[in-house]
Structure 1
Amino acid sequence: MRIAPQRVVTLHYVLSDEQGTVLDDSRARQVPLEYLHGHDNIMAGLEHALEGSEAGTEFSVTLAPAEAYGPYNEALIQEVGRAAFPMDDLAPGMRFQTPGDDGPQVVTILEVRPDTALVDTNHPLAGKTLCYQLAVLSVREANRAELAKGHPLPPHVDPSQVEDRKAP
């Protein structure tokens, strides 16, 4: 079965930067990625590269920043009051997940000042070219509950027990 919309894909990946530094490796964590194709579960550039592949396919793909997390945007650096953070002991390089206009976002502290902190709300991989080594493990049709939720369900969830509001 080929990867196409409405199908659940399970794969392993190794993510590296242009210099070959490994940033993430699903095999090392022994946890493959599972996503629902065509439902914005993964970045569009990666989803496009996987389209049409089938179980057993292994390949590499390089994504320019525009296909991945976008260009780095200096306008996303801002000063925030220290009271906005859950702790007093802040240091440059610390990261926090915060709510954003498009869902959760990662905020990186650049500089700590007496009453404020300079933060970067760009995705940590914004502006970077990303290199993926991909191995497609399986492709299957999504069930109605997964289509309704917009993502694969954990294996222990009984699809008949999931409220079906958006399924066709």
Structure 2
Amino acid sequence: MKISRGTVATVAFTVTDEKGQVVGRTDPKNPVVALIGHGFLIKGLEKAIDGHEKGDSFTVTLHPADSYGEYDESLVQEIDRSLFGDFDIEEGSVFEADSSNGPMAVVIKKINDKTVVVDGNHPLAGKVLNFLVTIEDVREATPEEKEHGHAHVNGHCPSEEGEHHCCCGHHHDHEEGGEHHCCGRHHDHEEDGEHHCCGRHHDHEEDGEHHCCGRHHNHEEGGEHHCCCGHHHDHEEGGEHHCCKHQ
């Protein structure tokens, strides 16, 4: 069976930058499972896998416009430290913000006495990326998946499994390698620095590599975001971003 709109593809990939350094990969135990044609994957990756079959492996180079977007300086903002309440914060910590277009990870870049500098750009924004892709499986989507608009994991909706799911429904933890596992949403940062991105729990390792899920974090033009604590936050005239919950 070939990948096409309405099929569910299981995809694993490794991402390198223009220098050949590995900057991301899917979680080896949890490849991306995506319902094709529903905006789950970044558009360049979804276009590249179209027509491929189980067992195919190939490499595709994606520019920012087809992957995680250009780096947007306006998404770097300085906000009042009191907005984080009693949460323990440190540089490199990630908070999750939700917009009507999907989840957004906000990284703490700098902590000052009274303010905090946060960055809403995807960690791989602005980079030309090479994806080494392997198609692990292709199947027809079930009627329920088509109705819900996303692939089911182990026969269930991701939300039924008790985890925070995003682009790929994987759980991500951060380890010391700095590696970024990209595929989703819920981001936890531990001492290792590995970031699992795309809908699951993210780990950060010391190597700086990202575990990718191929999902694009969208930012609305109006700047309105639904933040990690489940509250609705608007951007004030000064562009301030109100975040409230550490992931």
- TM (norm. structure 2) is 0.59
Q: Residue type matched to 1:24 in 2?
A: G
| Residue in structure 2 matched with residue 37 of structure 1 by the alignment | 36
| Residue in structure 1 matched with residue 19 of structure 2 by the alignment | 19
Bigger shift: residues 96-105 or 34-43: 96-105
**Gap change, CA 1:90 and 1:144, over 3 Å in 2:** same
Richer in helix (by share): 1
Q: Residue type matched to 1:108 in 2?
A: V
| Residue in structure 1 matched with residue 74 of structure 2 by the alignment | 75
Richer in strand (by share): 1
| Residue in structure 2 matched with residue 133 of structure 1 by the alignment | 132
**Cα distance in 2, alignment partners of residues 101 and 119 from structure 1:** 20
**Gap change, CA 1:96 and 1:137, over 3 Å in 2:** same
Q: Which runs of 5+ in 2 are unaligned?
A: 158-247
Structure 1 segment 50-89 matched on structure 2, within 5 A: 50-85=49-84, 87-89=86-88
1:157 correspondence with 2:141: no
Checking the alignment, whether the CA contact within 8 Å between 1:106 and 1:121 is kept in structure 2 is yes
- TM (norm. structure 1) is 0.84
Identity %: 38
**Cα distance in 1, alignment partners of residues 53 and 22 from structure 2:** 25
Checking the alignment, whether the CA contact within 8 Å between 1:106 and 1:124 is kept in structure 2 is no
Checking the alignment, whether the CA contact within 8 Å between 1:65 and 1:128 is kept in structure 2 is yes
**Cα distance in 2, alignment partners of residues 121 and 33 from structure 1:** 23
Q: Residue type matched to 1:20 in 2?
A: G
Secondary structure at 1:11's aligned position in 2? strand
1:8 correspondence with 2:2: no
Secondary structure at 1:49's aligned position in 2? helix
**Cα distance in 2, alignment partners of residues 134 and 33 from structure 1:** 11
**Gap change, CA 1:18 and 1:118, over 3 Å in 2:** same
**Cα distance in 1, alignment partners of residues 90 and 150 from structure 2:** 36
Backbone CA RMSD of aligned residues: 1.9
* 1:61 to partner: Cα distance: 0.6
Higher relative contact order (CA closer than 8 Å, sequence separation 6+): 1
* 1:118 to partner: Cα distance: 1.2
Q: How many residues align?
A: 157
**Cα distance in 2, alignment partners of residues 86 and 129 from structure 1:** 37
**Gap change, CA 1:74 and 1:101, over 3 Å in 2:** farther
Q: Which runs of 5+ in 1 are unaligned?
A: 159-168
| Residue in structure 1 matched with residue 143 of structure 2 by the alignment | 144
| Residue in structure 2 matched with residue 164 of structure 1 by the alignment | none
**Gap change, CA 1:80 and 1:3, over 3 Å in 2:** same
1:16-69 deviations in whole A, cap 9, x for unaligned? 22222223333x632221101101111011000111111121100111011101
**Cα distance in 2, alignment partners of residues 13 and 88 from structure 1:** 35
Checking the alignment, whether the CA contact within 8 Å between 1:82 and 1:88 is kept in structure 2 is no
Secondary structure at 1:29's aligned position in 2? coil
